[in-house]
Amino acid sequence: MARPVLKYVWRMRDRHGKERVYLRYPRRPLIALPALPETSLEFQEAYRVAMLKAENGTMLPSRSKEGTIGEILDLTMKSHHYRTGITDLYRKRLRGHFDAIRESVGHVPFDVVRVPHIRKNLSHLSDRPHEAEMRLKAWRFIFAEAVKASRADQNFASDVPWTTVKNKGFPSWSEEEISAYEDHWKVGTPQRTAFDLLLHTGQRRKDICEMEWSDIKDGWITIIQSKTKKQVDIPISHALQASLDVTPKIAATIITTKFGKPRSSNAFGEWFRSSVKEAGIKDRSAHGLRKAAANRLAEAGCSVHEIASITGHTSLKEVERYTKSASQRRMAQKAMQRLDK
């Protein structure tokens, strides 16, 4: 069975071996589509009409009993915030935990759920702290939507503390590693352009992939961050400008494949990791350059708000880690200088 290119397209063969194609939109009846290539104009028009019918049609009745956690999950997934207010990736991660909650406690009355019940649900993930943290986010999201819909008086999940995760995530690049990459990939190569955009804008790889030449004007790059939906205006550094000046403009996006096509975030991550390995650097990622950019700003004496204005962080606590580390280094240096006098 071929993997569908268009969303919700499902291909199968019936018992007579004939191909059948349907639009399998969540909680909607199946809509038949022509058994044609998805690139054909006829198929695309039929798909467009089917999507309109599905999006505006009547939902299939929920299988969840009224008043249960399962019913509140149905309400949550129909909410405007869940459907349009978060990224596709975050929605996918939430959905995985919603399904797990439904399977284990979907039959339980929602109005009896309190902190101990949520803790018990999280306890099954005690050996996977990152997953436990995401499960708690899912519970908080469910309760938040329930409160909005007047199905709960308060968000009891907010009273459950975050799981302490020892893993600090992607490590930052050191200055030696940055220099090694720059020595290997010269200005003008696609790898160096991607590297310079990551380091000198401090943005996430998805935002780097979506940056277009039209986003550049009068020495600034203006983007809408895919994760936060926040506009960020970034002044272009001299080093980044020098890199952009010799980068061929072969497509609307700055970052492209060798065929001039945009790169997806996942494909970019694999491609960039390969370039890091080729430069002789181990265990470094695109996201590590975002941390390196924040570290550089902190070392330069920038405040928390100044760093966040570049990186677009919405949590100042996360940015404070960089400034505290930089302040400690500056104070330690001053202390040693006094001893050396």
Q: How far is C-alpha 127 from the geometric centre of its chain's CA atoms?
A: 24
- Domain positions in the chain are 9-52, 69-159, 175-336
**CB of 188 closer than 8 Å to CB of 182:** no
**CB of 122 closer than 8 Å to CB of 135:** yes
- CA 257 → CA 79, 227, 267, distances in Å? 37, 23, 10
Q: Which of 96-105, 160-169, 331-340 has the highest mean pLDDT?
A: 96-105
**CB of 226 closer than 8 Å to CB of 167:** no
Q: Which of 23-27, 197-201, 323-327 has the highest mean pLDDT?
A: 197-201
CATH top-level class of 175-336: mainly alpha
**CB of 141 closer than 8 Å to CB of 175:** no
Domains 69-159 and 175-336 share a fold: no
* 10 vs 199 pLDDT, higher one: 199
Q: SS3 of 232, please?
A: strand
* CATH code for residues 69-159: 1.10.150
What Rg, from alpha-carbon coordinates, does the chain have?
25
pLDDT band at 13 (very low <50, low <70, confident <90, very high): confident
Predicted TM-score (pTM) of the model is: 0.60
Whether the pLDDT of residue 291 is over 70: the answer is: yes
Structure letter (DSSP) for residue 144: H
Residue environment code for 128-143, b if the CB has 16+ CB neighbours within 10 A, otherwise e: ebebbbbbbbbbbbbb
Range of lowest pLDDT (7-21, 149-163, 270-284, 298-312):
7-21
Q: Which two tokens stand for residue 45?
A: 């028009």
pLDDT (tens digit, 9 = 90+) per residue, 57-66? 655 555 678 8
Single-letter residue type at 283: D
Given the DSSP bridges, would you call strands 216-217 and 231-235 parallel, antiparallel or unpaired?
unpaired
Q: Which of 19, 9, 75 is nearest to 39 (CA)?
A: 9
Tell me what pLDDT residue 1 has.
Answer: 41
pLDDT (tens digit, 9 = 90+) per residue, 65-122? 889 999 999 999 999 999 988 888 889 899 989 989 998 899 999 999 999 999 999 9
pLDDT (tens digit, 9 = 90+) per residue, 184-206? 999 999 999 999 999 999 999 99
Whether the pLDDT of residue 290 is over 70: the answer is: yes
Tell me what pLDDT residue 299 has.
Answer: 87
Q: How far apart are CA 43 and CA 140, in angstroms?
A: 41
Tell me what pLDDT residue 4 has.
Answer: 46
